[in-house]
Amino acid sequence: GGFARVHEVTDLTTSKTYAGKIIPKCRITKPHHKEKIAREIEVHRHLRHRHVVRFHHYFEDDANVYIILENCARRVSVPHGEEPLEWKAGSLPNEGDTQPRETLSVMRALAPLLGFAFGV
């Protein structure tokens, strides 16, 4: 979303890495912004699916809201038997430049997730 930046963070007690979504409170300027963040946390903490990044924890201080999530490998999840598409930050194609194979892989990964999310 437009509120946050995501960084790879490490738990210094376990050396495990996570994705840390950091939302500056100065960007939360309207009541519905706060509601949107609370709703995201509430929904995400209950989702359990292989195509959904796992929620671990959230907390806040005076400056930021922190959402701690599963740290994903830098790849698109693909159906069994297909080659995964690896990517590096900033290397994804620009809008309109996606190749059919990449689009197919992404859509095959999203279809079961959408069915799960909408109870189909």
Show the 3-state SS of the chain: CCCCEEEEEECCCCCCEEEEEEEEHHHCCCHHHHHHHHHHHHHHHHCCCCCCCCEEEEEECCCEEEEEEECCCCEECCCCCCCCEECCCCCCCCCCCCCHHHHHHHHHHHHHHHHHHCCC
Are 49 and 32 in contact by the 8 Å Cβ rule? The answer is: no
Q: What is the pLDDT confidence band of residue 111, given thresholds at 50, 70 and 90?
A: confident
- Architecture field, domain 1-72: 2-Layer Sandwich (3.30)
Cα–Cα nearest to 60, from 102, 108, 4: 4
pLDDT tens string 64-79: 999 999 998 655 444 4
The DSSP bridge partners found for residue 69 are: 19, 55
- Asked whether the predicted pLDDT for residue 89 surpasses 70, the reply is no
pLDDT at 79: 47
The Cα–Cα gap between 73 and 31 comes to 34
Q: What's the pTM?
A: 0.64
